Amino acid sequence: MFLGHYGVALGSKRLAPGTSLGTLVLAAQLADQVWPIMLLLGVERVAIVPDPKPTLRLDFISYPITHSLVTGLVGGLLFGALYFLFSRDKRGALIAAVLVPSHWFLDFFFHIPDLPLWPGGPKVGLGLWRSVPVTFMLEALFLAVGLVLYLRTTRAKDRIGSYALWSFIGVLVAIYVSSMVGPPPTDSRMLAVSALSLWLLIPWAYWIDAHRTVVRPRD
């Protein structure tokens, strides 16, 4: 899953209106943000395989740190605690802590059985990626619902607040569509280097939120 994680981050603004979208995106995507770094360091491994289905072109040989359930839960606790330490925002810290392992739970429905429960533990996954139409439909649904919730929770302070958001969504969709219809990466190193570009979306999300204001905060 790709768009769905961003959709969850957008929608969670409804639950944590005082927390920046940048923090929410970082929490929801932390596993995929760290993953290319682990690939380049040789700690985790992936292979590019020929498969007619674009959703099955990556063979996730080993990613016990970034994509195991236990490390996701521990990472969520640490992320939430660190955020609370600096913000003193209990609600935001709780939502951020939940968002980190939410990445694993969403991936569980889409991945074939390659997600470890803990490093070195059994691997699971329901394999919705085997159906490209279902994958597309659910990715679009998660993003659309999250965007609607975000739009109902915030409004633009100025033109930047609107343009930055919609261009952000456009870039997300473009990245996803190009990964589905374009050729696969030539090797894992190229994949890792290109995946590092996702870090640019974090400050972009902070920028968006700085130009929007909460209109319906929750009590």
Task: Write 132-137 long-range contacts (CB < 8 A, 24+).
Answer: 132/53, 132/54, 132/55, 132/180, 135/55, 135/110, 136/180
Task: Assess whether pLDDT exceeds 90 at residue 184.
Answer: no
Does the pTM surpass 0.85? The reply is: yes
Which tens digits make up the pLDDT trace of 75-109?
999 999 999 999 999 999 999 999 999 999 999 99
pLDDT, greater one: 185 or 43 = 43
Report the share of the chain in percent with pLDDT over 70.
Answer: 98
Give the list of residues 6+ apart from residue 105 with CB closer than 8 angstroms, or none.
none
Provide the pairing of β-strand 123-124 with 115-116: antiparallel
pLDDT at 219: 39
Rounded to whole angstroms, the Cα distance separating 217 from 2 reads: 27
- pLDDT for the residue numbered 216: 60
pLDDT value, residue 33:
97
Q: Is the pLDDT of residue 217 over 60?
A: no
Of 137, 164, 172, the C-alpha closest to 6 is 172
Under a CB-based contact definition with an 8 Å cutoff, are residues 14 and 149 in contact?
Answer: yes
Mean pLDDT of the chain: 95
Give how far the C-alpha of residue 115 lies from the chain's centroid of Cα atoms, to the nearest Å: 16
* 74: pLDDT strictly greater than 90: yes
Domain ranges of the chain: 3-214
